[in-house]
Amino acid sequence: MEKRVGIIGAGTSGLLACKYILDRGFNPIVFEAAESVGGLWNHTIESTKLQNAKETYQFSDFPWPSSLQEVFPTHSTQVLKYLESYAQHFGIIPYIKFNSKVIDIDYVGEFYEKMEHQMFLHRGKVHLYKCLVGSKVHRVEFVVLCIGRFSGVPNIPEFPPHQGPEVFNGKVIHSMDNAYMDKASAAELIRRKRIAVVGSQKSALDIASECANANGVEYPCIMIQRTAHWFLPSGSCWGVSLGYLYSNRFSELLIHKPGESFLLKLLATMLSPLRWGISKFVESHLRWKLPMRKYGMIPKSSFFQEISSCRIGMLPEKFYNKVEEGSIILKKSQNFSFCKEGLVISGESLPLKTDLVILATGYKGDQKLKNMFKSQIFQKYIFSAASSLVPLFRQIIHLQIPQLAIIGYSESLSNLCSAEIRSQWLAHFLDGNFASCILSINIWCNDQFCKDMGQEHKRKKGIFAEYFQPYGPMDYAGLSPVSER
């Protein structure tokens, strides 16, 4: 049982967590609900490709095969094979229990009531997790949740009474249902149908594009967008690769970061016109390249705002050609509801007559996480934050939930790359490699706390005092608001 780590999920994140935990000599057991590795790449619609150029979505120690010509590999034939060969190459498969859906996890340690007021890692007591798989209980000392943020629990909009799918004569599905269909059934579902797709992000664009390919102008696909977003037809703008604009260290100098030093703050402020200019440079390219203005699809947010919140994707091939020929009709509407014949949207007096509505409205990743916990207290912790995002230290550890890590919930331009470095950090953490004696680096450690709180970490007045006067408790006065007690 010693060093037994339970990993839930064998998608990209679970494979990475398992590989790095194995490297440190732990004894992992991976529970995977499906019968194979690869997670969501097993269930995508036919046209799905990697949105990143392949060299930015690859394992650091396992490059794509040199025989692969495509810059943006396709889902099952290429991405899935790549993930499978990674699992084979690093001997991960024997550690995976397939067809093993974890129903819930239950922490056995301090009483929950006590724990509500305590912090991470209790020592000297029995503490482990019971993972319920079918009717069998597996005991592990640490759990890594790699259950995926964009799968499993769909986000279905809510409607007032008598305005939801129940009054509609046609069929309503979520993009996830579409992704789970086999090729023939998915093709049959959309064939010669009047289809409306709700959503303006990547799934919606891809599905609308597939419908247009299948049905042409005879049965145009209506896309209902609440918000217009910037999308890229390729990875470069005016001949400059996006990587040079947004993925190097210089580009991060232009952005304010939590807890940054005075110098970095000053630099980001001084360089903000350049940041604005880069955003406009990209926007000008997209406005020139795509007829967005003609269709009222110029986003209100700047390109910079969109890329900062991970709302940037690649446009499906010839998307606006389909809009121009009329096989895709773009409609903007803040709200929508159902009636007998189809959909009612704002600004249109007549309903949009529809046979099939596909809700490409995203996923409830936080709900999926919450459902994993038997304890209502832990469930509450997952949803307790004021922000809509689960608060995780280094985007990995929830500070109120002991002996548990979450990989795959932070979004970036390359999610594989983000999951890999977090898996490496986690393995390092589990291996006990974080110093417990901090005598010689005490000030450096306190700097990190100050930065986490967004406070200045250099606490003394003047360079001489900063570097040569000993640091003591009073240097840290005023980090928190003054108590009124």
Ligand X SMILES: NC(=O)c1ccc[n+]([C@@H]2O[C@H](COP(=O)([O-])OP(=O)(O)OC[C@H]3O[C@@H](n4cnc5c(N)ncnc54)[C@H](OP(=O)(O)O)[C@@H]3O)[C@@H](O)[C@H]2O)c1
Ligand Y SMILES: Cc1cc2nc3c(=O)[nH]c(=O)nc-3n(C[C@H](O)[C@H](O)[C@H](O)COP(=O)(O)OP(=O)(O)OC[C@H]3O[C@@H](n4cnc5c(N)ncnc54)[C@H](O)[C@@H]3O)c2cc1C
Minimum gap (Å) between residue 347 Cβ and ligand X:
14
Which of 27, 51, 247, 455 contacts ligand X by CB under 6 A? Answer: 51
Quote the CA–CA distance of 438 and 458 in Å, as a whole number: 18
159 binds ligand X (CB under 6 A): no
Which of 5, 6, 13, 295 contacts ligand Y by CB under 6 A? Answer: 13
Q: Which residues partner with 363 through β-bridges?
A: 154
Tokens 């998608």 correspond to what residue?
A: 11
206 binds ligand X (CB under 6 A): yes
Quote the CA–CA distance of 457 and 394 in Å, as a whole number: 19
Residue 83 or 290 with smaller CB distance to ligand Y: 83
* Contacted entry of ligand X, ligand Y, none for residue 76, CB cut-off 5 to 8 Å set by kind: none
203 binds ligand X (CB under 6 A): yes
Q: Closest Cα to residue 76, out of 46, 105, 51, 101?
A: 46
CA atoms within 13 A on the CB side of 189: 25
Which of 93, 110, 132, 150 contacts ligand Y by CB under 6 A? Answer: 150
Site map 76..115 versus ligand Y, x via CB under 6 A? -------------------------xx-------------
99, two tokens: 């067809």
Name the strand (E) or helix (H) holding 465: helix 463-468
Which of 361, 400, 418, 423 contacts ligand X by CB under 6 A? Answer: 361
Residue 170 or 199 with smaller CB distance to ligand X: 199
Minimum gap (Å) between residue 8 Cβ and ligand Y:
5
Helices marked H in 175-240: 175-180, 183-190, 202-215
* Contacted entry of ligand X, ligand Y, none for residue 73, CB cut-off 5 to 8 Å set by kind: none
Minimum gap (Å) between residue 145 Cβ and ligand X:
18
155 binds ligand Y (CB under 6 A): no
Span interacting with ligand Y, options 36-44, 222-230, 285-293, 393-401, rule CB under 6 A: 36-44
Please tell me the count of residues contacting ligand Y according to CB under 6 A. Answer: 31
Contact 390, 406 (CB under 8 A): yes
Span interacting with ligand Y, options 47-55, 230-238, 258-266, 384-392, rule CB under 6 A: 47-55
Quote the CA–CA distance of 229 and 163 in Å, as a whole number: 27
Contact 385, 398 (CB under 8 A): no
Minimum gap (Å) between residue 216 Cβ and ligand X:
22
415 binds ligand Y (CB under 6 A): yes
362 binds ligand X (CB under 6 A): yes
Parallel, antiparallel, or unpaired: how do β-strands 142-145 and 4-8 relate?
parallel
Contact 342, 386 (CB under 8 A): no
Site map 109..148 versus ligand Y, x via CB under 6 A? -------------------------------------xxx
Contact 256, 265 (CB under 8 A): yes
420 binds ligand Y (CB under 6 A): no
Which of 39, 73, 152, 199 contacts ligand X by CB under 6 A? Answer: 199
* Contacted entry of ligand Y, ligand X, none for residue 360, CB cut-off 5 to 8 Å set by kind: ligand X
SS3 state of residue 282 = helix
Tokens 């470095």 correspond to what residue?
A: 421
Contact 344, 337 (CB under 8 A): yes
Please tell me the count of residues contacting ligand X according to CB under 6 A. Answer: 22
Tokens 């959503």 correspond to what residue?
A: 199
150 binds ligand X (CB under 6 A): yes
Q: How far is the first Cα of the chain from the last one, in angstroms, to the nearest whole number?
A: 48
Distance of CA 292 to the CA centre of its chain: 27
58 binds ligand Y (CB under 6 A): no
* Dihedral angle of Cα 380, 386, 389, 391, to the nearest 10 degrees: -70
18, two tokens: 């398992």
157 binds ligand X (CB under 6 A): yes
316 binds ligand Y (CB under 6 A): no
* Contacted entry of ligand Y, ligand X, none for residue 279, CB cut-off 5 to 8 Å set by kind: none
User: Which amino acid is present at 30?
Assistant: V
Residue 201 or 410 with smaller CB distance to ligand X: 201
Could you say which DSSP state residue 397 is in? Answer: B
78 binds ligand X (CB under 6 A): no
Quote the CA–CA distance of 408 and 422 in Å, as a whole number: 9
CA atoms within 13 A on the CB side of 93: 11
SS3 state of residue 136 = strand
Residue 80 or 343 with smaller CB distance to ligand Y: 80
209 binds ligand X (CB under 6 A): no
243 binds ligand X (CB under 6 A): no
Using CB under 6 A, list all residues that contact ligand Y: 8-14, 31-34, 39-40, 44, 48, 50-52, 57, 101-102, 146-148, 150-152, 408, 414-416
Using CB under 6 A, list all residues that contact ligand X: 48-51, 150, 155, 157, 175, 198-204, 206, 226-227, 313, 360-362
